[in-house]
Structure formats: C-alpha cells, structure tokens
Amino acid sequence: MRLSTTNLSIELSGRKVLDRVSIDLQPGEVVGLLGPNGAGKSTLMRALASLLETPDVLLGDRALSTLASGERARKIAFLPQEKTIGWALAVRQLVMLGRIPWRAFGQKPSVADEATAAEAMRLLDVDGLAERPATQLSGGEQARVLAARAVAQDTPFLIADEPASGLDPAHQILMMQAFRAVAGKGRCVLVSLHDLTLAARWCDRVVVLDGGRVAADGEPGKVLDADLLRSVYGVTAHVAHEAGKLVLAPLALSDGGRP
C-alpha cells in the first residue's frame, strides 16, 4: 500500500504553504523530509496524516479523507513537533496510549498490546524508564518516549515531525536506527530533519522542500550536493564521502548574505 499525493496545494490564512507538491511513500523505506524553516514540511506532514481536511491524499487508491478516524489511526501514526505530555503518567502507560486505535472501547490492553509497547520502548531505549512519571524526564528522554508511543501504534506509515531535534548525537542515531528497524518490518517512515548528515546516512530517500515546492526527490547521494544546499538553504557546505555515505557540513552563508 502507498501513501501519496499529487499536485497538492494548500493555502493557510491566504498564504500558499504548499504549491503543487507530489510525494509517494512506499512500504519499507525511510524517507527524510528536508528544507529550511517555513518550507512547508510540517504542513505536508499534517496533510499526509489527515489532520488537515484535504481530499487530495491517497492511501492506496482511496482518498484518505474517506476513511473512518479509527481505521485511519490503524494506518498512519503521527508524531507532532510539539512535545505535549499533559499528566504525570508512567512512561509505560504513555507508550500504551499508542495502542488506543487497536482496542475496542473499554477493553483492557491485551498481551499483544503489552508486547508491542515493550518492543517500541526497547527500540527507543526507554524501557529502563518504564515506571518513571513522563513529566519528570529530561527533554531528550521525553522525545524518545513520545517517539516510542508513535512506534507502538504499529501502523504501515509513521510520520514524525523533527523527532531528533534536541537529542544528543548518540540518541539521534538511536532514533534513526529505530526508524530503520520499523522500515525493516515493511513499514514506511517519513521523518523531517534538519541534520543533513543524519538524513544522508539513514534515509533511503530524501524529499527537499523549498518555499512550498519540491526542490529535489531521490537518493541522498544523488540529490544532496553543494549546489542544492546553496540554492535551498543559502549555505556553502563541505561535502565528503565516508564509507560510501555522504557527510555534509554547512560552513557559512553563501554570498555572504542572509539565508
């Protein structure tokens, strides 16, 4: 099954945020969504997660908006950028919230639910925090717990909006490894990132947005180069190869000007 949209345009408060964007997500791949602030990444992700009322997103050959909300929640998980934890739930319970779409109303979590949540916590390295109140964790720990919640939803598509921001390098890699493991089970992960090297090393494909349009779409090694970074981000960058994978380090603003 594919999640796709063709020539999607979205206006918010009179401003064109997405302009004829086409994207096609396939099972088994980790897709990085790149682009400067305000390029439309979050809006595109919200549209793909069916949080905006747009009829133009297709799941398989069905319009996503025609799916019942419960059915949709078993297909697509969404991890928003804002890290909201309302009450001091134990980490274990918070991750278990991801199993809500799989249970009938009033039904207790099954053994399978527990196992899926435990697996998600292991992937994100938060299984040691299971009994801690989630509100008392550090920002990085909370980010991983919330990611574990989304992984526990165990959907064919996982859409994560800047999940690695605020994480230390080791946990950034851990999170990308977790997404690779999810994709390894035939799932698809769409993840927005600002760390170019992280995207280049861990994503099968990157989609680069610029001013609401797709500036590039393809394997990182083929589309990420100094020219693209200059035109999209307005930076000069050191581009090197390390064990067959790209390393990209932004150095300065190009043209000595503004981004």
Partner 1 sequence: MNRRSLILGLSACVVVFFLLSLLTGPASYGPIDSLRALVVGGDEAAAIILREIRLPRALLGLMVGFALGASGAALQGFLRNPLAEPGIIGVSASASLGAVTVFYSGLAGASMLALPAGALVGAVASVLLLLGIAARHGSTLTLILSGVALSSLAGALTSLALNLSPNPFASYEIIFWLLGSLKDRSMVHVAIALPLMAAGAALLFASSRALDALTLGEESAASLGIDLRRARLFVVGGVALMVGAATAVAGAIGFVGLVMPHLVRPLTDRMPGSLILPAGLGGAALLLAADVSVRVAIPARELNVGVLTALIGAPFFLWLVARTRREAF
* Footprint on this chain of partner 1 (rule: CB under 8 A): 46, 49-51, 69-74, 76-80, 82, 84-90, 93-94, 97-98, 100-101, 105, 133, 135-136, 146, 149, 153
Nearer to partner 1, 101 or 140 (CB): 101
Rounded Cα gap, residues 100 and 199, in angstroms: 31
Show Cβ contacts of residue 253 under 8 Å, excluding neighbours closer than 6 positions: 234, 235, 236, 259
Give dist(CA 223, CA 30) in Å, integer: 16
For residue 195, CA distances in Å to 95, 217, 235 come to 26, 17, 14
Measured from the CB atom, the residue of 155 and 197 that comes closer to partner 1 is: 155
The three-state secondary structure class of 92 is helix
When the beta carbons of 150 and 164 are compared against partner 1, the nearer one is 150
* 127 three-state secondary structure: helix
Q: 153 vs 197, which CB is nearer to partner 1?
A: 153
For the CB of residue 101, give the shortest distance to partner 1 in the complex, in Å.
Answer: 5
Cα 164–197–75 angle (5° rounding)?
45
Nearer to partner 1, 71 or 219 (CB): 71
Give first-to-last CA distance, the chain, whole Å.
Answer: 38
CB of 207 to partner 1, least distance (A): 20
Minimal distance in Å, beta carbon 242 to partner 1? 36
Closest distance of CB 137 from partner 1, Å: 10
Pairing of strands 213-218, 57-59: unpaired
Taking the least distance from each CB to partner 1, the nearer of 77 and 206 is 77
Distance of closest approach, residue 69 Cβ to partner 1, in angstroms: 5
Minimum Å distance from CB 98 to partner 1? 7
Sign of CA dihedral 17, 21, 27, 31: negative
Cα distances (angstroms) measured from residue 116 to each of 98, 141, 171, 259:
10, 19, 21, 43
Rounded to the nearest whole angstrom, what is the least distance from the CB of residue 237 to partner 1 in the complex?
Answer: 33
Give whichever of 86 and 256 is closer to partner 1, judged by the CB atom: 86
Residue type (1 letter), 242:
E
